[in-house]
Amino acid sequence: MASTLRKIAEQVLSRTTFSNLAMERARDAVVDTIGCMIAGRNDESVAALTRAYDGEIAGGGQARLVTGGSASPSLAALINATAAHALDFDDNFHPARAHASAVLVPALLAVLTSRKVTSGRRFLEAYLAGLEAQAAVGFGVNPSHYNRGWHATATVGSIGAAAGVARLLSADEERLAAAMSLATSFACGPKGQFGTSAKPLHAGIAARNAVDAVRMALAGLSGRPDILERPQGFRDLFGGDDARGWEGLAFTDEHIIESRGVVTKRHPCCASTHRAIDALLDLKQEHGLLADDIAGIETKVGISAVRNLAYPEPADEMQARFSMQYCLATAFLKGSLSLSDFTRQAIERLEIREFMPCIEMQSYSAEEERGVERLPHIVTVTTRDGRVLNKSRLHAKGSLEAPMSVHEREVKFLDCLRWGNRNVSGAAFLQLRKLADFEDLSGDDLFWSLVADRQSP
């Protein structure tokens, strides 16, 4: 019987036609990720990386950097993916429990070279291949893998992204499976790093690992094709006793992006806060609530969400992104959240700090979660006049079930350009939405002028 990696490799190489819907959703995810890369390019985590590798960043590298200049494909993937995830504004992909696109898109961009013509359509097809591979890897180990404390972006995301990069570089089935096997040996990333600059670095490491694994596989290195399911393999070590494995893994004609989609973030903070934020904003609008009306706000969320949101009194902007109290207080008082709410100055606003103590968070029990893939996040507001108002959200805004409009996507993209000190123009958004029509991304000056800093070659 074929190994799991061989089964995945066969699937992602044999799927040669994609529906218009799949291509449109892939394009939306890529454009959104490019916006997040641009917004995050000035973040301190990215600045630290560029200082660390200063001698390796110049104008003669093979791959372009969103920060300007160019570098090796490995280093470009590391820096650009860290930028994509730096502000926690990039998408989520539930089947992998990962920030799928923040790993995939920078990894694919890093291997675009002038030596090979790569159309926009081929790029999107490679993205879809990598996304399907991420879902397949996640199928066998999640949710226990994620709940045990592994940041699946750095583990599942990297292994799946290797499949997308391998497809873009025309690897055969054997080399593609070998690349995913090698990426498994690179897998790491504890969620205990959430709220620090190591968290966005996980996406950078994952993208770099995907690129390196493919390059090594194409050069002849290989690992065990059964490394996911075998004893002392990925499931055994990273999934635990509750991981189901891949015996039930099946592929359908419908691509995973059609059936599950990716969740485009409406708010620039940890996704564990999003459904509660949306529910609270719903209650505020439905009942015309004001700050003086509130006696208390209680949230009930998943166990992993409580563990992710470890900062009830955040000391800096990174911790604030992982604080239910800060995010809910800011969203309620302002009516929305934007990138400007996550600065050192913004998080110390007196009115928000005074409102935060009325917000409490609890989790479902392990028994309540057992056997259930997804439970709603519930917000209960108690008003000073004695009313008790409840709202639950099973899906966040930006999900397949509650999609963002094209206008909302454009507003987010322009906010990202503004934050990244780029010219704010709706024309850039419209041009990137024509990604499938680009004949050769590697040599297209228009495309790279939209993605990379103007200092890039």
CB-based contact 225:6 (threshold 8 Å): yes
pLDDT of residue 114: 67
The pTM is what? 0.95
- What pLDDT is attached to residue 454? 55
Distance CA 294, CA 381 (A): 7
Residues 312 and 316: their CA atoms lie apart, in Å, by: 12
CB 260 within 8 A of CB 95: yes
Rounded CA-CA distance 336/341 in Å is: 10
- Give residue 456's pLDDT: 40
| One-letter identity of residue 165 | V
* Confidence (pLDDT) at 43: 96
Q: What is the mean pLDDT of each run of 10 residues along the chain (457 residues)?
A: 95 97 98 98 96 85 91 96 98 97 98 87 98 98 94 98 98 98 97 96 98 98 98 96 94 97 97 98 97 98 96 96 98 96 96 98 94 92 97 96 96 95 89 96 89 61
Q: Set out the domains of the chain in order of their start, with CATH numbers.
A: 4-265+405-451 (1.10.4100.10), 271-393 (3.30.1330.120)
In order, the DSSP letters of 72-140 are -HHHHHHHHHHHHHTTS-S-BBTTTTB-HHHHHHHHHHHT--TTS---HHHHHHHHHHHHHHHHHHHHH
**Residue 323 · residue 314 · CB < 8 Å:** yes
- CB hemisphere CA count around 349 (13 angstroms): 18
Report the distance separating Cα 128 and Cα 125, nearest Å: 5
